[in-house]
Structure 1
Amino acid sequence: MLRAASPSRSSLVFAGFLSLLGELLVTAGLVLALFVVYSLWWTDVLAERHASARGDVVRRQWQAAPSPASPASPASPASPAGAGGLGMRDGIGFLHVPAMRNGEVLVKRGTAPEVLNDGVAGYYTDPVKSALPWDEKGNFSLAAHRDGHGAKFHNIDRVRNGDAVVFETRDTWYVYKVFAQLRRTSKYDVGVIAPVPKGSGRTAPGRYITLTTCTPVYTSRFRYVVWGELVRTEPVDAKRTPPAELR
């Protein structure tokens, strides 16, 4: 009777190696998948929770703060009436961009990861210092994540010329109108957040707003930029009725 030849020792070792390699690849794939879920979903969940909680704190502070017209809360560069007379550590107000469909976005000081990872937008302090909305002239320059950690500027590519960008403080609505976009530029192009933003088409000082984020989606190789210009301000009434652009 014929018998099958016994496999050689080397073939058994090779088969074992392939089996181990397959298991390692499957494990690596699962780890990678879990990392993607964490980066693009769970960080969003955590950031939304944190931003919502901080936003509630800011609104409670606005309700509790004395009127900016009273002697107890004089306006100053560090504590402007437009920000509700607060120290601004928790946030200076809320950004509304209807075209992005991202709800209200709490704005805080700074653009470091530990700030933006909390699901907020931050205004630049370095390498160019941002103006603030209540300043007479300058560029209110903001950054936020496009993916993960709240992804507040994920839909920035939906913004078009003529769209509204509204910034809300305790006492004032600042209404901007988008006039230009730059879909890709170097991450080192600090001119886009200059007081008179380079590349925007504007050549004279004004009251501008600049939104910046990473591009393409899921990368950080370049920056996407949107520019707007202040068209008017409106006082906040007792019911906090939003301007027409947000209704």
Structure 2
Amino acid sequence: MVQRDPRGRRLAARGLWSGAEVVVTLGVVLLLLVVHQLWWTNRQARADARHKVQSLQQEWGRPGGGDDGVPSAPPDEGADKDKDTDTAGEGGGAPAGGGRTAAAAAPRWDQAYAVIRIPRLGLTAPVAQGISKSGVLDKGYVGHYPRTAQPGGAGNFALAGHRNTHGEPFRHIDRLRRGDRITVETREHMYTYVVDKTLAQTAARDSGVIAAVPRSNLKPASGYSEPGSYVTLTTCTPEFTSRYRLVVWGKLAGVRGR
């Protein structure tokens, strides 16, 4: 009859127990990381974004918040034509139709300088210059692509935002439909854009979607062929990945002085 070594059994049991502890510890760490990414970053970024919106409203002398209403005049009639500060480097020039709009001035890098509202999504968020993660996107802000038009300017006012984590302001832009309103408020003007087209998926390298006349380089049927004043919203797709980009386009419908 073979005698088993009690010491060997104890060592095996101890090894199994230690392995189980390691697995449980790793599981807890992973769970905490998931909670941090999916809950804490959203909570923190949304609070920061909300405070920034309030700060901008107070700075502009509008502590009660902005007006989401439809502008009372079309772009060529409601704008102060002497205050067009858009430059050629920021999408300057006259919009389609021959008129000029009062475009916002280019701000400092990472500076929050506008507030975007999308009523269908219940979204209110600050817009900052640039699309850096640490300086803009991870704060829950919407980022403005450098070298694209400023709000109200001729060309393409192109924006990026997280779809998941860090406030995820663009989480549900896939729900936008043609005719939905997007308002962008600055110190001096309220710009209203109307959603016009959507590109459900394209490659991250598809720079055509944020061109002055936005048109996909990979899917030429998606986009525009005429100059105008556009807004572009971009975010990652599918959710919880960064493999592709989802794009929503809109056209400037009106400008109102504040």
- Specify which of 128, 137, 158 is matched with residue 175 of structure 2: 158
The answer to which structure, 1 or 2, has the higher relative contact order (CA under 8 A, 6+ apart) is 2
- Does residue 219 (structure 1) correspond to residue 241 (structure 2)? The answer is yes
The equivalent residue for 2:26 is 28
State the shift of 1:227 in Å. Answer: 0.5
Give the Cα–Cα distance (whole angstroms) in 1 for the partners of residues 107 and 248 of structure 2.
28
Partner AA of 1:175 in structure 2: T
- Does residue 98 (structure 1) correspond to residue 125 (structure 2)? The answer is no
Q: Is the 8 A contact 2:209 2:223 kept in 1?
A: no
Partner AA of 1:37 in structure 2: V
The equivalent residue for 2:132 is 112
C-alpha distance 185-84 of structure 1, shift in aligned 2 (>3 A): closer
Give the Cα–Cα distance (whole angstroms) in 1 for the partners of residues 230 and 204 of structure 2.
20
Tell me how many residue pairs correspond in the alignment: 219
State the shift of 1:130 in Å. Answer: 1.3
Q: Is the 8 A contact 2:86 2:106 kept in 1?
A: no
Give the Cα–Cα distance (whole angstroms) in 2 for the partners of residues 56 and 112 of structure 1.
22
State the shift of 1:111 in Å. Answer: 0.3
3-state SS of paired residue (2:197): strand
3-state SS of paired residue (1:139): strand
The equivalent residue for 2:189 is 172
Name the Cα RMSD after superposition: 2.8
Give the Cα–Cα distance (whole angstroms) in 2 for the partners of residues 25 and 77 of structure 1.
58
Give the Cα–Cα distance (whole angstroms) in 2 for the partners of residues 52 and 59 of structure 1.
11
State the shift of 1:84 in Å. Answer: 9.0
C-alpha distance 116-179 of structure 1, shift in aligned 2 (>3 A): same
The equivalent residue for 1:16 is 14
TM-score of the aligned structures, taking structure 1 as reference length: 0.79
State the shift of 1:57 in Å. Answer: 2.3
State the shift of 1:46 in Å. Answer: 1.5
- Does residue 57 (structure 1) correspond to residue 55 (structure 2)? The answer is yes
Q: Is the 8 A contact 1:51 1:106 kept in 2?
A: yes
State the shift of 1:85 in Å. Answer: 10
C-alpha distance 32-209 of structure 1, shift in aligned 2 (>3 A): same
Structure 2, unaligned runs of 5 or more:
63-82, 88-100, 217-221
Give the Cα–Cα distance (whole angstroms) in 2 for the partners of residues 85 and 226 of structure 1.
23
C-alpha distance 198-24 of structure 1, shift in aligned 2 (>3 A): same
- Specify which of 176, 184, 200 is matched with residue 183 of structure 1: 200
Structure 1, unaligned runs of 5 or more:
65-73, 237-247
TM-score of the aligned structures, taking structure 2 as reference length: 0.76
User: 5 Å matches for 1:197-216?
Assistant: 197-199=214-216, 200-216=222-238
Give the Cα–Cα distance (whole angstroms) in 1 for the partners of residues 234 and 103 of structure 2.
23
State the shift of 1:82 in Å. Answer: 5.8
User: 5 Å matches for 1:76-87?
Assistant: 76-77=85-86, 83=104
State the shift of 1:149 in Å. Answer: 0.9
3-state SS of paired residue (1:92): strand
